Amino acid sequence: MSDINLAQAVDLSKVIQEAKEDIPDADKAKQLPEPKGYRMLCAIPEVEGTFESGLLKADDTRRIEEHSTVVLFVVKMGDLCYKDESRFPTGAWCKEGDFVITRAYAGTRITIHGREFRIINDDTVEAVVQDPRGIKRA
pLDDT in tens, 16-31: 555 555 555 555 546 7
Q: Which residue has better confidence, 46 or 5?
A: 46
- Average pLDDT taken over every residue of the chain: 82
Average pLDDT over residues 26-41: 81
- This prediction's pTM: 0.74
Work out the end-to-end distance of the chain between its first and last CA atoms, rounded to an integer number of angstroms: 25
Residue 101 CA to residue 124 CA, distance in Å, equals 9
Which of 5-14, 44-53, 65-74, 123-132 holds the top average pLDDT? 123-132
C-alpha gyration radius of the chain: 16
Asked if the model's pLDDT at residue 2 lies above 60, the reply is: no
Torsion, Cα 6 9 12 13, to 10 degrees, reads 50
